[in-house]
A = this chain, B = another copy of it.
């Protein structure tokens, strides 16, 4: 067993866009585990937009606390238990947990993180690729599933717009909605992503740069939309409010347009909340862990039957984690962004 652990830490609070110079790979001895702790060697890291918010010096009330200079990055990850003093875990167990961005994680039994993802969870892959438990059968799948079923209460007759539809969560949401019989519009910010949405996912899709959000929505949904799954915020949220039909619903999952140092564009006309009796609800997957079983049954069924496309953009080696994060934040990845750790 190697003696050295490497973990990505915040070197300095980013000003504007995140750069690789804001992060530092720090080496340290692999710690000894204490009572009830397990030592996990990470195999897959989930590269998610929300980490970017925590790298700023303050985070909004209710959100995950900021990561300060000198502190390690965290994020959803999969790994193998290689040492244990916790009777609930055996060496060789595959676990999901939130101590990503490092080779080795020492995980205790304190629920010292958020959203129910604090404690490690043993994964039975049931023959599926393990990293799917970070994607469609894990947090991404739960986010998409909770948004559609609980927050939006999607009906078959709905027209739903999914923003960032070529992203890790959006691509799953768009397909669940389609497979449940709804009419789906997906938006993305690059021609290759729009092509992916049309060709691979088989949904109506548009590039939000071209011509404009309002023109694209007017063309693809001339009678308006019933529901909007928001991952972008800003001008997307404003356009959704303008194009929702009376009693329309919005599930607000994120606002990635404002995460990486860019000012938000577009203030929604909020009076439409009254005039159209809109319902707007923010949510995080961690509040919907009780849906994990039904999500895995439904999404697992789609995957097994070959009805759902699951696309990954994989970066190899822990050294590439910042590159993966920057690429994902810049909109250069398609589908789920992952970092695969070199096995030694």
Contacts and interface: CB of A to CB of B under 8 A. Distances in A.
Interface string A248-284: 0000111100100000100111111111111111111
A287 interface: yes
Contacts of A237: 270
A246 interface: yes
Contacts of A272: 60-62, 282
A63 B274 CA distance: 8
How many monomers of this protein are in the complex?
A: 2
Interface string A272-310: 111111111111100100000000000000000000000
A109 interface: no
A233 interface: yes
A45 to B, nearest CB: 23
A255 B271 contact: yes
Nearest to A50: B274
A57 interface: no
A41 B279 CA distance: 39
A323 interface: no
Contact of A270 (B255, B271, B274): B255
B280 A281 contact: yes
Nearest to A243: B61
Contacts of A4: none
A278 to B, nearest CB: 5
A275 B282 contact: yes
B255 A61 contact: no
Nearest to A269: B60
A129 B150 CA distance: 44
A2 to B, nearest CB: 38
A59 interface: yes
A277 B271 contact: no
Contact of A61 (B61, B246, B273): B246
A246 B60 CA distance: 11
Interface of A: 59-63, 233, 237, 245-246, 252-255, 258, 264, 267-284, 287
20 contacts: A60-B269, A60-B271, A60-B276, A61-B275, A61-B276, A62-B245, A62-B277, A63-B276, A252-B274, A253-B274, A255-B274, A258-B271, A267-B267, A273-B280, A275-B282, A276-B282, A277-B281, A277-B283, A277-B284, A279-B280
Given A252-B274, A280-B281, 10 more contacts: A60-B275, A60-B276, A61-B246, A252-B273, A253-B274, A254-B274, A273-B280, A276-B282, A277-B282, A279-B279
